[in-house]
Structure 1
């Protein structure tokens, strides 16, 4: 079946921006056109496709089933065209750009090592990194704004329709600063954990459920004093200058533990671990730079499995 030649590049750009923003008004700002122009362009596309792509409400717009189906192909198609134009303008000898969505589970240890190796091997490569919750990053991957998402995300509903490659399993640990009072007591009495502030991931994130499960297994009510954040830097600094207990992904504190700057609390329990891996969009061909990144991630992850 031939592609309808009435579909223009502007239709696809408008559709993707509306899907990304969830609002006609915000999409208009992003596209630097008027809101009526956005509505008109979207209506033209819906008429061409003979399908309603969005449900409108006072809160904004959400893709219909048809919209989600079209989104799987529109985003990668636009990105493929951009990649083709870029490759012609920059020259095939240049490595280009790989756009990574990175969860907090890997930004402290795995990712810096991966970027170091990539830059050792490819002198012209740009690694563009976006951090945030898995739901947001996977949405960006789906519309073609990212090449890969790396981290612990298998429990996220947004992963449906995407491809996940397991790299290694990672546990959640309880860590505190050196000299913390809990290091001097018998933690078979786990009720003591409830006496101290706790640092944990944001509610609704994949790793928050794992963090919550540790306190449930301990039979301890989560303390009222909590710092909820995905910022590894903020979590680390707060724990080092306070009596807080950090429920941390192992990768986030791997180097701190090795240097003795943080100490793991041995409570006789261990969260079973989640799968850290690479998520990609099966409808989009990976660029050469993204393929290099996948190869380097696999190599670094293999060492993690050998030396946890």
Structure 2
């Protein structure tokens, strides 16, 4: 039986703070004041008889007790939300799945899977949330997403979730057509530092691969870097400048085929990373989610 002193607002405050790792950002997300959020967390910790977070000047992080509560509170609230959604479905409401999308699948793979889903199931809505793997996997663990799709096997946050491999996708280095380096598909590595770079942000799994490549080749990143996961911003910047773009192959394949971008063969990756779908096995998948996972597998078969 649920502790009668633990209220829904306590758990909502806990989950939001666990996700945002900042009292300020969590309070803004919940549209409450920071003192109100602090009070809710303090009351929850008092009711449970233990601290749940470690405080530091950089923000807050879950301690072992907090991690234990997160493992159970997220699915519990998710189950409650599913029950409310099921009532709406029974009354003719639309079924909906919530998908976390990494940049490795945003351009072609995920849209193709959604298109195939809607061609067969006109009553299923899809909500797509993008962002870095750590953010999306934390939302999946908390029951706020139904699955995450992309390249994420290197992410630390994946450890207690279920990952299914679909296909391999490498990172490539591209420049605009007519770039000084495009005349040779295998330019001297020492010249790469002469130009700006467009990179995934620090602490992302894709950036880890770039940093590893630079270490292996004794390359120093230039001071002129654009760090972003936005494919639209990256593409426009590279087409209009002399920058080098480290991007998932699927994000640039159409521009390369059309001659707008050129791939530089620098040996960044050969096989590439494992792209797949990740689910929270502690939650029972809906029929809509199972249908979408099957669409992902079908589209991935062509990629393999």
TM-score normalized by structure 2? 0.88
1:109/1:251 contact within 8 Å kept: yes
Mapped partners of 1:259, 1:247: distance in 2: 19
Question: More deviation in 20-29 or 145-154?
Answer: 20-29
Aligned runs of 1:32-51 on 2, under 5 Å?
32=31, 38-51=37-50
Mapped partners of 1:98, 1:258: distance in 2: 33
The answer to whether 1:281 aligns with 2:283 is: no
Instruction: Tell me how many residue pairs correspond in the alignment.
Output: 304
Post-superposition Cα deviations, 1:251-297, rounded to whole Å, max 9, x if no partner, equal 21122223222221234664441111112212222222222221111
The answer to whether 1:189 aligns with 2:188 is: yes
Mapped partners of 1:281, 1:91: distance in 2: 25
Mapped partners of 2:212, 2:53: distance in 1: 37
- CA 92–262 in structure 1, closer or farther in 2 if over 3 Å, else same: farther
1:73/1:283 contact within 8 Å kept: no
Aligned runs of 1:80-95 on 2, under 5 Å?
80-91=79-90, 94-95=93-94
Question: More deviation in 64-73 or 39-48?
Answer: 39-48
2:171/2:268 contact within 8 Å kept: no
1:189 CA drift (Å)? 3.0
1:214/1:271 contact within 8 Å kept: no
1:88 CA drift (Å)? 0.7
CA-based RMSD of the aligned residues comes to: 2.6
1:188/1:268 contact within 8 Å kept: no
Post-superposition Cα deviations, 1:217-270, rounded to whole Å, max 9, x if no partner, equal 444432332222111111111111222221111121122223222221234664
Which residue of structure 1 lines up, in the alignment, with residue 291 of structure 2? 292
Question: More deviation in 28-37 or 280-289?
Answer: 28-37
The answer to whether 1:159 aligns with 2:162 is: no
Which residue of structure 1 lines up, in the alignment, with residue 116 of structure 2? 117
Unaligned segments of structure 2, at least 5 residues: none
Aligned runs of 1:199-218 on 2, under 5 Å?
199-218=198-217
Mapped partners of 1:6, 1:291: distance in 2: 37
Post-superposition Cα deviations, 1:183-211, rounded to whole Å, max 9, x if no partner, equal 22473633222222222211221001222
1:210/1:271 contact within 8 Å kept: no
1:95/1:122 contact within 8 Å kept: no
Aligned runs of 1:11-30 on 2, under 5 Å?
11-24=10-23, 26-30=25-29
- CA 173–24 in structure 1, closer or farther in 2 if over 3 Å, else same: closer
Post-superposition Cα deviations, 1:108-145, rounded to whole Å, max 9, x if no partner, equal 11111111112212212221111111111111112111
TM-score normalized by structure 1? 0.87
2:137/2:158 contact within 8 Å kept: yes
1:162 CA drift (Å)? 1.4
Which residue of structure 2 lines up, in the alignment, with residue 108 of structure 1? 107
Mapped partners of 2:38, 2:195: distance in 1: 53
- CA 284–112 in structure 1, closer or farther in 2 if over 3 Å, else same: same
1:105/1:151 contact within 8 Å kept: yes
Which residue of structure 2 lines up, in the alignment, with residue 64 of structure 1? 63
